[in-house]
């Protein structure tokens, strides 16, 4: 089988290598000429035998929309596009409709495995017509972990189902990471704990919270004890937000995922206006001490009240 692969970043590049390793011929296209096999979408289409299969692995949103529009111009009736980025499932319906008008088939595929997928294999969640899924099955077999088809591949449903499943997957991922992170901070905060990395390692086997994410947490703290080399600023890809929006729309309670998304927002604020107001309100209704914006302010006491002030402030406090 010979396919085209668009987008040779961290994920796409690794996928190309795994596909080739497993007997799939791949012609890749990327804006970076150093990694690209061809110079344009038209050249990519010309390299592939019909009916063509082209897999897109570019960022969701405008970039994916531009790629799909471009493929609609260079592909032909009977060709197949697999959209493997993290698009919102509602966009799949639009993309599939645009391509269907020209007789081009469409599958959406949520891909999980990160930069480790090249060696370990990927988890795949696919949406679309069963006949199209069957036609692309050699690709899915090449990408998934060997011998684990039932555990690593699912035809989730109709168009959009693959990306919907990946959205929920990533929402769960947000919650899991936040729980591990809060546990890590609790361990670091207690003086009786001497070996935080050792505790994380001890959790890796036999415990109910063992997971690949925990293994990666161990790796992270081993490589950077105390995590002193990185800032606590966390981006989000959008899928956590979409999960929360879907939960609100469906009336499904999702407090853990929602809290994890908001925690990422909080990580980007050096000095939260909201928490400034909370501090001010505590001072207003309970007489609690307020830490000055500049700890060096004369008489500011670094935000720490004296014992007498603390006693007065706490007396009868509703909090």
Contact 167, 246 (CB under 8 A): yes
Q: What is the C-alpha to C-alpha distance for residues 317 and 262, in angstroms, rounded to an integer?
A: 28
Contact 170, 162 (CB under 8 A): no
First and final CA of the chain: distance in angstroms? 67
Q: Which of 235, 266, 241 is nearest to 254 (CA)?
A: 241
Among candidate residues 83, 91, 166, 239, the one labeled active-site is 166
Q: How would you class 186 by CB atoms within 10 Å of its CB: exposed for 0-12, middle for 13-18, buried for 19 or more?
A: exposed
Give kind and range of the element (H or E) at residue 300. none
188 in catalytic set:
no
245 in catalytic set:
no
Among candidate residues 83, 91, 173, 239, the one labeled active-site is 173
Phi–psi pair at 45, nearest 5 degrees = -60, -40
Q: What is the C-alpha to C-alpha distance for residues 167 and 180, in angstroms, rounded to an integer?
A: 20
Q: Is the peptide bond before 51 cis (omega within 30 degrees of 0)?
A: yes
Cα distances from 154 to residues 134, 213, 239, in angstroms, run 12, 22, 19
Catalytic positions: 166, 173
């Amino acid at each position: 089988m010979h396919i085209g692969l668009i987008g040779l970043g961290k994920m796409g590049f690794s996928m190309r290598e795994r596909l080739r390793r497993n007997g799939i011929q791949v012609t890749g296209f990327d804006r970076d000429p150093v990694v690209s096999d061809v110079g344009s979408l038209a050249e990519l289409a010309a390299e592939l035998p019909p009916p063509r299969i082209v897999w897109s692995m570019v960022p969701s949103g405008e970039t994916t929309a531009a790629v799909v529009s471009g493929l609609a111009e260079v592909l032909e009736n009977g060709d197949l596009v697999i959209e493997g980025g993290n698009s919102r499932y509602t966009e799949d319906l639009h993309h599939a409709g645009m391509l269907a008008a020209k007789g081009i088939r469409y599958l959406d595929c949520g891909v999980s495995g990160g930069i480790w997928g090249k060696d370990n294999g990927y988890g795949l969640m696919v949406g679309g017509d069963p006949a199209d899924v069957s036609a692309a099955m050699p690709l899915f077999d090449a990408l998934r972990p060997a011998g684990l088809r039932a555990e690593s591949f699912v035809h989730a449903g109709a168009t959009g189902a693959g990306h919907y499943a990946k959205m929920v997957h990533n929402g769960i991922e947000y919650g899991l990471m936040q729980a591990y992170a809060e546990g890590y901070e609790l361990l670091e905060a207690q003086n009786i704990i001497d070996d935080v990395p050792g505790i994380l390692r001890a959790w890796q086997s036999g415990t109910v919270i063992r997971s690949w994410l925990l293994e990666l947490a161990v790796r992270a703290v081993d490589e950077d004890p105390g995590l002193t080399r990185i800032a606590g600023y966390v981006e989000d890809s959008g899928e956590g937000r979409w999960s929360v929006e879907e939960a609100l729309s469906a009336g499904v309670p999702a407090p853990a995922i929602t809290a994890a998304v908001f925690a990422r927002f909080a990580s980007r604020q050096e000095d939260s206006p909201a928490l400034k107001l909370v501090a001010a309100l505590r001072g207003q209704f309970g007489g609690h001490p307020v830490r000055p914006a500049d700890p060096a302010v004369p008489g500011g006491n670094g935000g720490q009240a004296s014992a007498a002030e603390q006693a007065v402030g706490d007396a009868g406090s509703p909090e």
